[in-house]
Amino acid sequence: MKLNKMIDHTKLGANISKAQIDQLLEEAKTYDFKSVCVNPIWVKYAKHQLKKTDVLVCTVIGFPHGTHHHLVKAYETLEAINDGADEIDMVINVAALKSKDYHTVAQEIKGVVENADNRVVKVIIETCYLTNDEIVKACEIAVDQKATFVKTSTGFGTGGATIEHVKLMKDTVKDNAYVKASGGVRTYEDAMKMIEAGASRIGTSNGVDIVNKGSDNNDTNSAY
């Protein structure tokens, strides 16, 4: 797979302007990224602007803390799909997982997956807050509920993706799901380490620099 097609080109935050979104979309068109990842309010606009490309629109659900009621996450997903979202990145209830309330975590993932209607769902488990055993459990629940990916981080926690966590997640899900590394993946070298550890997708706001450096290394069109 081409390196550019492993990147979710991302712009998330409370004060993102239309000008910043326009820049993101133009970069996505130029570099033909796998997707843009934007807040739900930008989904319809991004979908319209990208309609003549094969760049997908990804959005976030229960973001960034994962503390929304499970019915709200399910409804938010439905609205995002209605606006044109192609992929969904949802944040789990981390506190529920840590308190071993696995039913709640499974219930919210199930609701999102069902409303996504066969679209890609990536489950953000926020690894910086979890022990290795909790990471394994979160991955197992996500697989059980038919999520497409498990994802390391929102980028808004106390830490982002690590090689060790990506390896652990890949070892847990095996061929039953994919792994997305997100949070702190800023350079070509960072991205390559995550891919080598088992990530199939990279979430980053530095996609342009990563792909340009990959081109310098003759890796942009390499298959992984």
Residue 36: beta bridge partners?
9, 57
Residue 166 has pLDDT above 70, yes or no: yes
* Structural contact between residues 46 and 19, judged by C-beta atoms closer than 8 angstroms: no
Residue with tokens 């039913």, as numbered in its chain: 103
Pairing state between β 7-11 and 201-204: parallel
Average pLDDT over residues 75-83: 98
Annotated catalytic sites, by residue? 89, 151, 180
Tokens standing for residue 132: 């290795």
Whole-prediction pTM: 0.95
Query: Where are the domains positioned within the chain?
Result: 3-216
Per-residue model confidence as pLDDT tens digits over 110-136: 999 999 999 999 999 999 999 999 999
Rounded CA separation 44/79 (Å): 10
**Confidence band, pLDDT 50/70/90 cuts, at residue 222:** very low
Q: Looking at this protein, which amino acid is placed at residue 205?
A: S
Given pLDDT bands bounded at 50, 70 and 90, which one contains residue 223?
Answer: very low
Architecture of domain 3-216: Alpha-Beta Barrel (3.20)
pLDDT at 217: 75
Q: Give the chain's end-to-end CA distance (angstroms, integer).
A: 5
Average pLDDT over residues 63-70: 98
Give the C-alpha separation, 177 to 174, whole Å: 7
Per-residue model confidence (pLDDT) at position 218? 63
One-letter-per-residue 3-state SS of the chain: CCHHHHEEEEECCCCCCHHHHHHHHHHHHHHCCCEEEECHHHHHHHHHHCCCCCCEEEEEECCCCCCCCHHHHHHHHHHHHHHCCCEEEEECCHHHHHCCCHHHHHHHHHHHHHHHCCCEEEEECCHHHCCHHHHHHHHHHHHHCCCCEEECCCCCCCCCCCHHHHHHHHHHHCCCCEEEEECCCCCHHHHHHHHHHCCCEEEECCHHHHHHHHHHCCCCCCCC
